[in-house]
Amino acid sequence: MTTTARHLDIKTILADRGLDGSGKDIWTKRLGEITEDEVKWALSRKPGYYVLDRLLILISPAAENFIEQMAQIAHRLTLQRFGKTVRLYAPLYLSNFCVNGCLYCGFSTNHQFPRIRLTVEQALADAEIIAKEGFRDLLLVSSEDKKFIGVDYMTELASKLRPKFSSLSVEIYQMSADEYAKLFAAGIEGVTLYQETYNRQTFRKYHPAGPKADYDYRLNAADSMGQGGMREIGIGALLGLDDWRLETLALAEHAHYLMKRYWKSRVSFSFPRLRPAKDVDRARFNLLSDKNLVQMLLALRLCFADAGMTISTREPAHLRDQLVKLGITRMSAGSKTNPGGYSTHADSVGQFDIDDSRSPAQIAAMLKQAGLEPVWKDWDSAFTET
């Protein structure tokens, strides 16, 4: 596996390094050979810079015995780069119609249940409730429902949301650079999209049908975001589909590539773990322990000092309370994962079950008690009107 990838695309980088699943046995063997002395060496280095071999050491089984030391360094580094602030946001789900057959998702086209799409007016009604909770940072989420939730819908909705929200972002199916540029012109500054898994074989297994089954098209989506001018590019792997350690290595290579190529954009990590969902059998997945989730987050913070890190209400309250002290810079609160869940369709089917059901006010109080400052918006709208 070559280590020269400066001017290559992300597909080639992952293939060259065997991080698309082709080198799984090699990487697994290397991880198992790492010693505690190597972990001590890695922790003695100046934190905050990325080298693949250093990350490999920090996510190894041997490093599990050094999580407390990693946590202390990560805490200091996060305070240095981000201060004591934690951004709060709310997701607004727009549709649970979907053309994809993902085997882990409650919205899968193979599931039978009454589907819901929000009109622009219904979405605004949910947004009004979210705004009254104090949020000014809104994440618009949709399944792949292009016939209804298309670019025209999103731009119209964004134009009507801008007066109430200082920051709009989306978590939606992959688009072209031109489509992302249209969203950006309408006032949407960020996009989050998970590769789900960087292992090609595993990706094929869990995405048997629909446009999302195209691994390469999805992998290139973050490039399209950068080319479309997005200020924030959010990436992640759905933890539970494949070996989390190998996913972390691929995720880091992807982030490093994006940071070099689209330096005007801010790259952030999310850490979504598989959650119970309608008609989904979780017994088939490689579920990730709390300890290893913490290790993954800490290792990435020690290698990416300035990356945003997001944790959602997928995670339990007690764990989120600890994670915000270790490197998390953005978290959701009071979330509903079903379209219309805040107002008109409280009983509609959600994408997955949430775990932390505390209100936004309770989350803000928790942050203050921990000595942190809850921030309800990212940048002011005046910043984008240039």
Domain layout of the chain by residue ranges? 10-384
Question: Which of 78, 86, 41 minimizes the C-alpha distance to 63?
Answer: 41
Q: If you average pLDDT over residues 96-100, what whole number do you get?
A: 96
Instruction: Check residue 285 and give its pLDDT.
Output: 83
CA 331 to centroid of chain Cα atoms:
11
List the beta bridge partners of residue 50: none
| pLDDT tens readout for residues 8-67 | 899 999 999 999 999 999 999 999 999 999 999 999 999 999 999 999 999 999 999 999
- What is the distance between the alpha carbons of residues 98 and 154, in angstroms, rounded to a whole number? 17
Q: What is the pLDDT of residues 182-227, one digit of tens each?
A: 999 999 999 999 999 999 999 999 999 999 999 999 999 999 999 9
Q: Tell me what the pLDDT averaged over the chain comes to.
A: 93
- Locate tokens 């590769």: which residue? 195
Q: What is the mean pLDDT of residues 139-158?
A: 97
Average of pLDDT values for 159-176? 96
The reported pLDDT for the residue numbered 378 is 54
What phi and psi, each to the nearest 5 degrees, are found at residue 177?
A: -60, -40
Distances in Å between the Cα of 116 and the Cα atoms of 145, 336, 345, 348, 351 are 11, 14, 8, 7, 12
187, amino acid identity: G
Q: What is the SS3 assignment for 267? A: strand
Each residue's pLDDT tens digit, 242-279: 999 999 999 999 999 999 999 999 999 999 999 888 88
Query: Tokens in use for 325?
Result: 């002290």
* Cα distance between residue 161 and residue 167, in whole Å: 10
Write the DSSP assignment of 27-67 as a string of letters: HHHHHHH--HHHHHHHHHSPSS---HHHHHHHTSGGGGGGH
Question: What is the fold, at CATH topology level, of the domain defined by 10-384?
Answer: TIM Barrel (3.20.20)
How confident is the model at residue 350, as a pLDDT? Answer: 83
Rg (CA), the chain: 20
Q: Which pLDDT value is given to residue 377?
A: 66
Ranges of H-type helices in 109-243:
120-132, 151-161, 177-185, 200-206, 215-219, 221-227
Contact 249, 55 (CB under 8 A): yes
